[in-house]
Structure 1
Amino acid sequence: MKRSSDAAQTRGGGAHRSPFDRCVAQAELRVSQAPFFFVCAGIVVAWLISLPWWTDLEAWQFAFYTVASVFMLLLVVLFENAGRRASEASQEKLDVIAEALAALLASSAFNDPELRTAAERLREAVGREERY
């Protein structure tokens, strides 16, 4: 049986997950809900309303774009991490299903060489994504 993936190691109880993984899970949960959208929309509205208090239009735009760019970079990093972990978890589930199917095929393949070959090929395919 193959070793468990990073996703499997961090998916367990909260005590085994790193602070970063817990932060990613909380950020993903909060950002994917409606209140976060309304907060972002409110920030954009506040930025638009603040135009009269800025003497320089370029500084007004620069301030908003800088903050928005930094914020977006952080969100992209967090979501890439969450997506990678979700993909690893899905792949691990598929590998477990394939291993079980291969074991079932092998137990039924006493007199059928084609079935035995199919079971061997399926076992070889398990964990292939880690080899490439």
Structure 2
Amino acid sequence: MPLQVSTAVGGFDRFAKQASDVASRAWFFTFCVLLVVLWAPSFFILKDLDTWQLIINTCTTIITFLMVALIQNSQSRAEDALQHKLNAIAQGLSDLMEHIADVTDEPARKLADDLDEDLAQLRAAVGLERYESSSDNRER
């Protein structure tokens, strides 16, 4: 649960977050457009169509390859965080249902039986028996 979630963030995770923050800014897009605008007239300097195209193709391929890795890392961390939050909410609801179900008087026993069934369905649906931790599933 939330206490079992590691708060340690690895170096690559910190780098990926910072790179993602930079790449999502308008000025970064403007910088990319500027690079293309500067690259386009370089044909007159290089005077070789193959070299001219190779430069832009190589640059965009490398940047795309690296950005995909960074985006995947950011997406995985976001999904892990969401799963931990859902597990915490479900555990809290489960604990509340158990607390309410611990009723000793007979009129409330019917409610407790219904809550026991709801609790079993909640645990089956969410899978609280096996907590998924990002540190257990992949190296960070």
Which residue in 2 is equivalent to 1:48? 40
Unaligned residue ranges in structure 1 (runs of 5+):
none
Which residue in 2 is equivalent to 1:34? 26
Which residue in 2 is equivalent to 1:126? 127
Residue identity (%): 33
Shift of 1:129: 8.2
Matches within 5 A, 1:89-108: 89-108=81-100
Greater displacement, 112-121 / 90-99: 112-121
Structure 1: 4+ residue segments shifted above 6 A: none
2:72 is the counterpart of 1:71: no
* TM-score normalised per structure 2: 0.78
Q: Distance in 1 between matches of 2:127 and 2:45?
A: 61
Indicate conservation of the 8 Å contact 2:2/2:88, yes or no: no
Q: Distance in 1 between matches of 2:80 and 2:114?
A: 31
Shift of 1:3: 7.9
Q: Distance in 2 between matches of 1:28 and 1:103?
A: 37
Which residue in 1 is equivalent to 2:11? 19
Once the two structures are superposed, residues 33-71 of structure 1 have per-residue CA deviations (whole angstroms, 9 ceiling, x without a partner) of 111011101001111121211221121111110111011
Aligned residues: 122
Structure number with greater Rg is 2
Q: Distance in 2 between matches of 1:77 and 1:61?
A: 25
Distance 1:100 1:115, change over 3 A: same
Indicate conservation of the 8 Å contact 2:94/2:123, yes or no: yes
Indicate conservation of the 8 Å contact 1:99/1:126, yes or no: no
RMSD value over aligned CA atoms?
2.1
| One-letter amino acid of the counterpart of residue 19, structure 2 | A
Unaligned residue ranges in structure 2 (runs of 5+):
104-108, 133-140
